A and B are shown apart, each in its own frame.
Chain A
């Protein structure tokens, strides 16, 4: 912006020089309209561009002079000596104002005021009080308003005049813009299309009925059509709004009612049609009372409003069926056991190979998998129910912090295990607070950086495979990697010579006691909070990832399992026993020979594609004394952005794991998060990778050496810090 201001100043100085020359000519020949035109244009540009680049004093001062010369140009007043003497004085004032803005001083206003009133004298009374202000409806401006965020459904009829193409308008783009505002159904009416031989290809015969569900308000919708207001018939009506429309019936209106409301048909025609017993729409079309597309448009509206209301109802219903979650847990538990028993049955039946038994086993398999899906489904709730309260949070924080923020939610309908939803609430509060406090800049700063005044915070949920990705993103200033490094150093979280990738630096914000803001606000910066995010997500078996672009914003993504009752696991074997590693953290599996292990004596490091990765021999962790096979396998995992390998005897494969908790006696065993029963009835322990990494001294000790080595290899993946 400063560069542009400078450019404007240069231009204005130039224009003033030219202007003074023109004034001298004008003095010689006051009737020369060419010169008057030049004077007017110079003033006009100084004014118009001045307003663009924030020179409001210049803009408002020049405004009156411009108005006077506009009248001169139109021949409404004639140039006299007085006017010619006033103008150069004005040039001096403008110059003073330009100088002042360059030097950062304040120009005196007296002369300007005097001159303004002198110029005012030339203006007829009516035009003197600025025709300004009243005039401008600015296209595109409504977008920036922070709407009230209530989702309404609108009925829009857009009937362009035949000649709409003549001014270069493409109606399809307007419809597309409308579509970008929300959920949109468009019905094209082609009934006015004449026969091909009669058609004028430069006329628009098509018109549209649109049903739009959006949080945008009336003005924002109207604004889309601002350029074509006098080139079309346009009606915009609200047909559904929560709490504002009188009936909330999820079935919405009947087709006949909609058509009547739209004025597509008369009451008589409807009554007539109702007397026969077919579907109203069909009859109306058969009797040629209306065109099929009108019925279709009405049907579309009916459907969309029904959908919107169903969605609201669904939101309400979640509170109305209440089952104690203990009962639900018991059910899930039983189903889990049933599935295990069923797996055994299937195994036995395939071994016995008796037709009768196989038939029963298959039946049981089908039923139990259906039962499992349904039971899991009961625990699933749309995440939107918990999203809703964040809207309030954002609004309150906006006021508190003096920031303008738009809150956008996406994927509210995504379903997630209720237990997980409940536990997510706190971390999400912290993430949103953090975005509001550290991410979104104050409106002034944003404007300087050419961003919209209001920042945007987006909370979205996407379902993908066995996971749900929940992300909180803002379009604020982004994370400052250097500040994070400095802070982490000062807090002793990282070592001075530690090589860390950007991703690893970002993830430091989740370390306990970490906060880059020196001043504590009531919102965040107390150094508690973000570590809650990491620990909660860990406990849910998920992962956290941070992406950030300086100046563009930050996105924190939580990857969470759909349910806590079943996980996708990797089945491995150590000393004839089975174990499960959560598949969500597994990156790849590689082989390691005894020779490889002994080549770096005393240190547990493995080189995978030029990357040095510390590993944990699980055989040792679990204190199994048997001799390992010559070739073992390393399951490489990524935990909190760092890679760690787990050495096992053999990788068996992927396994859908129904998690059973360990009995109360065994509950406190560290490094094991649960158990599962395999198809053959044996038990497999589920390994808690986070805990094991925490407690493995070798990995921690390996760091010093590891660090030295990363400097020779790629410094992409830094060491596992002693903190994890």
Chain B
């Protein structure tokens, strides 16, 4: 346990929910408010997994995934994107950018936990 997860979302309430849910499971959660913030925080200390929203100001989710994948430290790090049901193309774009998986909003806390467990144990 004690794995480090970087959670990226411009919505405070979602960030809080993700953080609360995962910390309860024993993960360490670092939050970032958008892609730019995330890239910086990712460089600071390596995260074992990244959970990111797609629509964000400054650097959006797709760009973030691309940027992380081009960083040797994050080539094989699981990255999960939060998508909405209506954004099918977005999901594909994310997959092409190198996302490992996705979670469809709205989701329940246990679904989030299931996906995290699947990808980093």
Tell me, in angstroms, the Cα distance from A144 to B108 when the chains sit together: 11
Distance A621 CA – B117 CA, assembled complex (angstroms): 61
Contact of B12 among A7, A40, A67 (CB under 8 A): A7
User: Contacts A139-B111, A174-B118 known; A48 to B98 CB distance under 8 Å?
Assistant: no
Residues of B within 8 A of A103 (CB): none
Contact B85 A135 (CB under 8 A): yes
CB of B13 within 8 Å of the partner chain: yes
For residues 117 through 147 of chain A, which have their beta carbon under 8 Å from a beta carbon of chain B? Answer: 130-133, 135-141, 143-144
B79 interface hit (Cβ, 8 Å): yes
**Cross-chain contact B79 with A168 (CB below 8 angstroms):** yes
9 contacts between A and B (CB under 8 A): A11-B11, A41-B56, A51-B105, A132-B85, A135-B85, A141-B111, A166-B76, A168-B119, A170-B119
A38 CA / B55 CA spacing, docked (Å):
10
Bound CA–CA A329/B84 (angstroms): 68
Q: Which residues of A contact B100 (CB under 8 A)?
A: 167-169, 227
Q: A132-B86, A168-B100 are in contact. Are A52 and B13 (CB under 8 A)?
A: yes
Residues of chain B within 8 A (CB-CB) of A170 are: 78, 119-120
Return the CB mask of B66-109 against A: 1 if under 8 Å, else 0: 00000000011111001011111001000100111111111101
Q: Is the CB of B120 within 8 A of A173?
A: yes
Main secondary structure of the interface of B (DSSP, over half): mixed
A168, B13: Cβ atoms closer than 8 Å:
no
Closest to A169 in B: B100
B118 touches A48 (CB 8 A): no
At the interface, yes or no: A165 with Cβ under 8 Å from chain B? yes
| Interface 0/1 of A205-235, CB less than 8 Å to B | 0000000000000000000101100100000
Q: Is the CB–CB distance between A167 and B77 below 8 Å?
A: no
- Contact indicator A143/B114 (Cβ below 8 Å): yes
In the complex, the answer to whether A51 meets B114 with C-beta atoms within 8 Å is no
Give chain B residues whose Cβ lies under 8 Å from the Cβ of A37: 57
Please measure, in the bound complex, the distance between the C-alpha atom of A174 and the C-alpha atom of B78, giving whole angstroms: 13
A701 close to chain B: CB less than 8 A? no
A133 to B20, CA, bound (A): 28
Q: If the complex has contacts A49-B13, A49-B14, are A224 and B118 also in contact, measured as CB distance less than 8 A?
A: yes
B111, closest chain A residue (CB): A140
Number of chain A residues whose Cβ lies closer than 8 Å to a Cβ of chain B = 50
Nearest chain-A residue to B24 (Cβ)? A450
Residues of B within 8 A of A40 (CB): 55
Residue A482 is within 8 A (CB to CB) of chain B in the complex: no
A9 to B68, CA, bound (A): 33
Quick one: given A170-B119, A173-B120, are A227 and B101 in contact (CB under 8 Å)?
Answer: yes
> In the complex, which residues of chain B have a beta carbon less than 8 angstroms from the beta carbon of A52?
13-14, 17, 105-107
Determine if A47 and B119 form an interchain contact, defined as CB atoms under 8 angstroms apart. Answer: no
Do A11 and B12 have beta carbons less than 8 Å apart? yes
Extra 13 A-B pairs, beta carbons < 8 Å, given A8-B13, A167-B79, A224-B118 = A47-B84, A48-B14, A51-B84, A136-B85, A140-B114, A140-B115, A143-B110, A167-B98, A167-B100, A168-B98, A169-B78, A177-B117, A452-B110
Nearest Cβ on chain B to A532's Cβ, whole angstroms: 36
Residues of B within 8 A of A173 (CB): 118-121
Residues A139 and B115 in contact, CB atoms below 8 Å apart: yes
Residues of A within 8 Å of B102, CB to CB, are 139, 227
Q: Is the CB of A4 closer than 8 A to any CB of chain B?
A: yes
Within 8 A of B (CB), among A356-376: none
Across the interface, do B17 and A44 meet the contact criterion of CB distance under 8 Å? no
A61 within 8 A of B: no
Q: What is the distance, in angstroms, from A193's C-beta to the closest C-beta of chain B?
A: 19
Instruction: List A288-329 residues whose CB lies under 8 Å from chain B.
Output: none
B101 to chain A, nearest CB (A): 4
Taking CB atoms, residues of chain A closer than 8 Å to B63 are: none
For B86, the chain A residues whose CB sits under 8 A away are 63, 66-67, 130-132, 135
Report yes or no: A133 in contact with B12, Cβ–Cβ below 8 A: no
B residues in contact (CB < 8 Å) with A: 10-14, 16-17, 20, 53, 55-57, 75-79, 82, 84-88, 91, 95, 98-107, 109-112, 114-115, 117-121
Closest residue on chain B to residue A34 by CB atoms: B57
Q: By the criterion CB–CB under 8 Å, are B84 and A48 in contact?
A: yes
Known A-B contacts A8-B13, A52-B13, A52-B106; the reply to A167 vs B114 at CB < 8 A is no
Is A535 located at the chain interface by the 8 A CB criterion? no
Contact B105 A48 (CB under 8 A): yes
A contact residues around B85 at 8 Å (CB): 131-133, 135-136
Q: Are A4 and B16 in contact (CB under 8 A)?
A: yes
B63 to chain A: closest CB distance in Å? 13
Q: How far is the CA of A53 from the CA of B20 in the complex (A)?
A: 14
Alpha-carbon distance A224/B85, docked complex (angstroms): 20
Instruction: Give the docked Cα–Cα distance between A53 and B86 (Å).
Output: 18
Q: Quote the shortest CB–CB distance from A591 to chain B (angstroms).
A: 48
The answer to whether B77 and A168 touch across the interface, beta carbons within 8 angstroms, is yes
Chain A residues in 8 Å Cβ range of B103: 138-140
Report Cα–Cα, A600/B119, bound state, in Å: 66
Say yes or no: A131 contacts B88, CB within 8 Å. Answer: yes
- Most A C-beta atoms less than 10 A away, residue of B55, B76, B103, B120: B55
Q: Mark A144-169, 1 if CB is under 8 A from B, else 0.
A: 10000000000000000000011111
- Known contacts being A52-B107, A168-B77, A173-B121, is A135 close to B88, with CB within 8 Å? yes
For B16, the chain A residues whose CB sits under 8 A away are 4, 7
Please give, as numbers and ranges, the residues of chain A lying within 8 Å of B10 by CB-CB distance. Answer: 41, 45
Most chain A CB atoms below 10 A, which of B100, B112, B120, B121:
B100
A176 at the A/B interface (Cβ < 8 Å)? yes
Give the residue name and chain of the A residue nearest to B21 (CB).
A450
The distance from the CB of B100 to the nearest CB of chain A, in whole angstroms, is 4
Of A7, A140, A230, which is in contact with the most chain B CB atoms at under 10 Å from its CB?
A: A140
**Roughly how many angstroms separate A452 CA and B109 CA in the complex, as a whole number?**
10
Q: Please report the C-alpha to C-alpha distance between residue A95 and residue B8 in the assembled complex, in whole angstroms.
A: 26
Q: Note all chain B residues with C-beta closer than 8 A to A63.
A: 86
- Which 9 A-B pairs rank lowest in CB-CB distance, beginning with the nearest? A140-B114, A227-B101, A51-B106, A168-B100, A136-B104, A168-B78, A8-B13, A136-B85, A52-B106
CA of A103 to CA of B103, assembled, Å: 32
* A14 nearest in chain B by CB position: B12
Which of B55, B86, B105 counts the most chain A CB atoms within 10 A? B86
Q: How far is the CB of B79 from chain A (nearest CB, A)?
A: 6
Q: How far is the CB of A138 from chain B (nearest CB, A)?
A: 5
CA distance A553 to B95 in the complex (A): 40
Instruction: Flag if B84 contacts A168 (CB, 8 Å).
Output: no
Minimum distance in angstroms from B95 CB to a CB of chain A: 7
- The listed residue (A66, A139, A165, A168) touching B114 by CB distance below 8 A is A139
Q: A132-B85, A168-B79, A224-B118 are in contact. Are A138 and B107 (CB under 8 A)?
A: yes
Chain B residues near A47 (CB, 8 Å)?
84
The interface centre, meaning the residue of B10, B53, B102, B114 with most chain A CB atoms within 10 A of its CB, is B114
The CA-CA distance from A642 to B86 in the complex, in Å, is 62
Which residues of chain B are within 8 angstroms of A140 by Cβ–Cβ distance? 103, 110-112, 114-115, 118
Residues of B within 8 Å of A66, CB to CB, are 86
Set of chain B residues within 8 Å of A67, measured between Cβ atoms? 86
Q: Which residue of A lies closest to B78 (CB)?
A: A168
- The distance in angstroms between the C-alpha atoms of A4 and B119, with both chains bound, is 26
Known contacts A49-B11, A169-B78, A452-B110; is A4 also within 8 Å of B84 by CB? no
Q: Which A residues are in CB contact (< 8 Å) with B57? A: 37-38, 41
Q: How far is the CB of A227 from chain B (nearest CB, A)?
A: 4
A173 to B82 alpha-carbon distance, docked (Å): 21
With a CB–CB cut-off of 8 A, which chain B residues contact A132? 85-86
